[in-house]
């Protein structure tokens, strides 16, 4: 099945007893950096459907978990992807961003990753490589903290 011309980025989050949140970062097996769950749409999937599938595949977090679509949509160069030649003259594709609240912190890593960490916002932000990933995490953190304070 051909990859759809969009990317998703998902950050699992979990509340702490101190009214803060921990965020899950994954270390890619083919690189040295940390990121959220990332992947592309398949066929006619919507971004939310792709986010749910990728989350399940990469961490075992069920599709019926609470997903929160972020406002952040980031451009990604189409040439970063193997299937870019199938997308016509697209220069960039959108990356749709989400948060997900799993029922528990236990995850099952796929072979795409070698390690994972649940981190407080500041440390997660510091570890990430891509500025766009940091922007999405910033938005998620601000929205969750606003919900907590009303």
Give 46-97 pLDDT, tens digit per residue: 999 999 999 999 999 999 999 999 999 999 998 888 888 888 888 999 999 9
What is the pLDDT at residue 88? 84
Query: Residue 72 is part of a domain; what is its CATH number?
Result: 3.90.79.10
| Residue 41 reports pLDDT greater than 90 | yes
Which two three-digit tokens encode residue 14? 């979990």
pLDDT higher at 143 or 113: 143
CA distance 110 to 99: 19
Torsion angles phi and psi, residue 32, rounded to 5? -105, 5
Q: How confident is the model at residue 16 (pLDDT cuts 50, 70, 90)?
A: very high
Q: How confident is the model at residue 128 (pLDDT cuts 50, 70, 90)?
A: very high
What residue numbers bound the domain in which 101 lies? 3-149
- Nearest CA-CA partner of 21 in 146, 150, 106: 146
| Residue 1 reports pLDDT greater than 70 | no
| Residue 18 reports pLDDT greater than 80 | yes
Arithmetic mean of pLDDT over the chain: 93
Q: How many independent structural domains does the chain possess?
A: 1
């Amino acid at each position: 099945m051909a990859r759809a011309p969009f990317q998703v980025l998902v950050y699992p989050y979990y509340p702490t007893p101190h009214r803060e949140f921990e965020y899950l970062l994954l270390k890619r097996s083919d690189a040295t950096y940390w990121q959220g769950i990332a992947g592309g749409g398949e066929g006619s999937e919507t971004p939310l459907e792709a986010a749910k599938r990728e989350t399940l595949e990469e961490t075992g977090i069920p599709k019926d978990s609470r997903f929160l679509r972020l406002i952040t949509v980031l451009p990604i160069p189409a040439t970063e992807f193997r299937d870019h030649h199938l997308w016509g003259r697209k220069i960039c594709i959108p990356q749709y961003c989400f948060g997900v609240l799993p029922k528990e912190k236990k995850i099952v890593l796929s072979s795409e990753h070698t390690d994972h960490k649940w981190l407080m916002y500041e440390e997660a932000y510091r570890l990430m490589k891509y500025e766009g990933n940091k922007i999405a995490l910033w938005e998620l953190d601000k929205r969750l903290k606003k919900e907590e304070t009303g």
